Amino acid sequence: MKLLAIDAATEALSVAVQYNNDIIDRFEVCPQQHSQKLLPLVDEVMSEAGLTLQQLDGLVFGRGPGSFTGVRIATGMVQGLAFGAQLPVVGISTLAAMAQQAINTENAHTMVSAIDARMSEVYFAQFAAKDGLAVGVGGEQVCAPDIAASMLPESAFHAVGTGWQAYEALQGNDHQAVKTDILYPHARFMLQLAAPEFAAGNTQDAMSVMPVYLRDKVTWKKLPGRE
């Protein structure tokens, strides 16, 4: 399949295009510059791949959780691209994307993702590797770091995300965390998680695309006239 993936949910910005069994990607940590840099990066990878939007089979995006502004930027961008080119969309968890990277680069089997959610909270989820893919164990949640620490596995696991550095409660030595340098989600690894969703027909159209914030007080507006 020919797929374009974008993510802007954290301080990092990433795009990746998959075609002919190859992947062209860009990854950059650029806080507060996502809105200016995202479209040029999309144009860059598409041009390098020699593809137009109309030649794609679908779009993939980091649906959150993460920065409210960043998640909105990615959601709005993929919504606009999907609407213009009439492409199906698959949203991928930013927490799952980091877990997938740990599988691919660290040969991880059990992963715990924790992103600093500010306000003394983390976005938190646990994953297991099944057939080479990150599968959620329990749901995603936003919670205090000490609550997250109380739910950590008793056996060894790979820790991914910024939450481990941000909060002392997640830095103790009484659990079996294998530290990694995976701090942010990467669009490249969202492609791998999206493939079976496209194969199963679990896609959305532009009108149905929604972000995942985990904090209920945040709202999202769809395309004008499509609320």
Domains belonging to the chain, first-starting first, are 3-93+185-208 (3.30.420.40), 94-179 (3.30.420.40)
Residue 151, number of CB atoms within 10 A of its CB: 13
Q: What is the pLDDT tens value at each position of the chain, 227 positions in all?
A: 999 999 999 999 999 999 988 999 999 999 999 999 999 999 999 999 999 999 999 999 999 999 999 999 999 999 999 999 999 999 999 999 999 999 999 999 999 999 999 999 999 999 999 999 999 999 999 999 999 999 999 899 999 999 999 999 998 766 789 999 999 999 999 999 999 999 999 999 999 999 999 876 544 455 554 44
Q: What is the pTM of this model?
A: 0.93
Residues paired with residue 25 on neighbouring β-strands, in sequence order: 16
Going from the C-alpha of 178 to that of each of 33, 64, 107, 113, the distances in angstroms are 31, 24, 12, 12
Predicted pLDDT at 226: 45
Which position has the token pair 């990607």?
Answer: 25
Q: What is the DSSP code (8-state) at residue 21?
A: T
Is the bond leading into 65 cis (omega within 30 degrees of zero)?
A: yes
Q: What token pair was written down for 204?
A: 């959305």
Angstrom distance (rounded) from CA 75 to CA 48: 24
pLDDT for the residue numbered 216? 63
Sole residue written with tokens 């959610």: 117
Torsion angles phi and psi, residue 77, rounded to 5 = -65, -50
pLDDT of residue 171: 86
